[in-house]
Amino acid sequence: MECHKCQSQGQSCGKKSGGLPLFRKKQQSGNREVCSSLPIALVGMPNVGKSVLFNALTGIYVTVSNYPGTTVEVSRGLMQIGEQSITVIDTPGMYSLLPISEEEKVARDLLLTEPLASVIHVVDAKNLGRMLSLTFQLIEAGLPVILAVNMMDEAHHWGLDLRQEALEIELGIPVVCMAAALNQGIDELKHRITPFLPVEAVMIPA
């Protein structure tokens, strides 16, 4: 990771960042001043609804760029929680932290090198058992994981339901049931992200 001064000025002096910044930047939003925390990353297997969730969280201000040194695209957008603007990163689909494809390698590198406030592991409720292995890997890697069990609408059609509290206790992380395509569970997810953010929008001296 480049040094913080270079990051903010879009330059590169070759020096590496010394530590994890608590706050990234100060922004003006209308008349109020807001501070953003570290970014949030959406991760998970392909086709689980990460990009649909990304769009539901971020709206229209999105940048898409190639991950450095690759042709893999990574989208970043801003999500609003209360007074805070938080960057959300939509990562390529990955099956495991042991990458095989270039997409998986990008997702893995991003997770293990970029300081993150939280990692939202998006899973398909219909295939929960198959997808929890990645949840365990993320937890074991020491990442601040929230499990977003998506496509609950389809699971309900299949007659499936989820014992959310039991799963939370079993995993030891927050679990949110949602249907991102129907905008269901978005507020609950934001609510569960809040404890991972700075306690209050502390102002940084200019």
Ligand X SMILES: Nc1nc2c(ncn2[C@@H]2O[C@H](COP(=O)(O)OP(=O)(O)OP(=O)(O)O)[C@@H](O)[C@H]2O)c(=O)[nH]1
Residues within the interface to ligand X (CB under 6 A): 44, 46-52, 92-93, 150-151, 153-154, 179-182
Question: Would you say 153 or 168 has its CB closer to ligand X?
Answer: 153
Q: Name which of Mg ion, ligand X, none residue 185 binds, using a CB cut-off of 5 to 8 Å depending on partner kind.
A: none
* Whole-number Cα distances in Å, 102 to 42, 43, 80, 92, 123: 17, 15, 31, 9, 21
Q: How many positions of this chain bind Mg ion (CB under 5 A)?
A: 2
**Parallel, antiparallel or unpaired: strands 32-36 and 25-29:** antiparallel
- Find the residue with minimal CB distance to Mg ion: 51
Q: Which stretch binds Mg ion (CB under 5 A): 49-57, 115-123, 124-132, 155-163?
A: 49-57
Answer whether 135's CB lies under 8 Å from 145's CB: yes
Distance CA 97, CA 167 (A): 22
Q: Is 51 near Mg ion (CB under 5 A)? A: yes
Question: Would you say 80 or 184 has its CB closer to ligand X?
Answer: 184
Question: Would you say 7 or 55 has its CB closer to ligand X?
Answer: 55
* Whole-number Cα distances in Å, 49 to 113, 156, 176: 24, 17, 14
